[in-house]
Amino acid sequence: MTTATKAKAGTGTATKDGLPSMIAYLTRVLKTPTIGAFWEELAEQARDENWSHEEYLAALLQRQVADRESKGTVMRIRTAHFPQVKTLEDFNLDHLPSLRRDVLAHLATGTFVAKAENVILLGPPGIGKTHLAIGLGVKAAHAGYSVLFDTASNWIARLQGAHQAGRLDAELKKIRRYKLIIIDEVGYIPFDQDAANLFFQLIASRYEQGSVMVTSNLPFGRWGETFSDDVVAAAMIDRLVHHAEVLTLTGDSYRTRQRRELLAKENRATRD
């Protein structure tokens, strides 16, 4: 305890009346605002319910930790730059029998991030790849992992900018600070050779170090078309799938289905 802290805290000799200001001061020093805000209310509850000192302390600390964790999650979701926040809870699994529920439940625990493993979501347009990628990203953020989401073209633009400025290595290092990066829409826009090389460097720099989640409308066999180079594509796929869960989704587009259902409803309404 510094002299200043001792003086303020009174080394335990504060009078009962001085306690609130002493606690306010100490919680500020400790940067535990939730304790500062709730100690009095919880103390009353503790007295009413005859908690032991230990129970009171545990309840107070628990409140502080829960608050810090939820603030951390909110921050991680904000900094992940998801295009929208979609959740796995909103995802209708009945529409997608090709998706194994046990695999999805396992991925939702986020342990793949701890192991720097990858997730590849392959399937046709509208099947729910982006929704699942965001939902899993949100789960990873809840589990305490930093996440960064972007489309493949934006990732490339970012790397190109860094490359032109002569700081590609620094950028790759910065990206490595994120435990999970999500690369959406590989395959829609073809990359020239330079872009493909940059993309390869991104994947290589995370190999066995940080997780990558990729969504693509193309099966691996056609990635050579997107990256205008079969050799680079093969080397990239090799690194991506070495420690990965590959989910190949099949079925109808959810967008088309929703549209179909809407039209059917309108038709029924005009008939009735």
Ligand X SMILES: Nc1ncnc2c1ncn2[C@@H]1O[C@H](COP(=O)(O)OP(=O)(O)OP(=O)(O)O)[C@@H](O)[C@H]1O
Closer residue to ligand X, CB minimum distance, 95 or 158: 95
Residue 128 near which of Mg ion, ligand X, none (CB within 5-8 Å, type-dependent): ligand X
Q: How far apart are CA 130 and CA 126, in angstroms?
A: 9
Q: Which is nearer to ligand X, 46 or 127 (CB)?
A: 127
**Residue 151 interacts with Mg ion (CB under 5 A)?**
no
Order the strands of the 211-216 sheet from edge to edge: 147-151, 180-186, 211-216, 118-122, 244-248
- Position closest to Mg ion via CB: 130
Q: How many other CB atoms are there within 10 angstroms of residue 102's CB atom?
A: 7
Residue 166 beta carbon to Mg ion: minimum distance, rounded to whole angstroms? 33
Size of the site for Mg ion (CB under 5 A): 1
In sign, the C-alpha dihedral spanning 251, 252, 255, 261 is negative
Q: How far apart are CA 44 and CA 218, in angstroms?
A: 61
168 binds, among ligand X, Mg ion, none (CB under 5 to 8 A by kind): none
Q: Which is nearer to ligand X, 118 or 151 (CB)?
A: 151
Q: Are 148 and 80 within 8 A, CB to CB? A: yes
The end-to-end CA distance of the chain, in Å, is: 79
Q: Distances from the Cα of 158 to the Cαs of 150, 163, 175, in angstroms?
A: 10, 9, 11
Nearer to ligand X, 9 or 104 (CB): 104
Residues making contact with ligand X (CB under 6 A): 86, 90-92, 95-96, 123, 125-131, 185, 217, 254-255
Closest residue to ligand X, based on beta-carbon distance: 128
178 backbone dihedrals φ, ψ, rounded to 5°: -85, 130
Interface with Mg ion (CB under 5 A), residue from 130, 211, 216, 226: 130
Q: Which is nearer to ligand X, 17 or 90 (CB)?
A: 90
217 binds, among Mg ion, ligand X, none (CB under 5 to 8 A by kind): ligand X
**What is the torsion angle, in degrees rounded to the nearest 10, for the CA atoms of residue 202, residue 206, residue 211 and residue 214?**
30
Q: Which residues bind Mg ion (CB under 5 A)?
A: 130
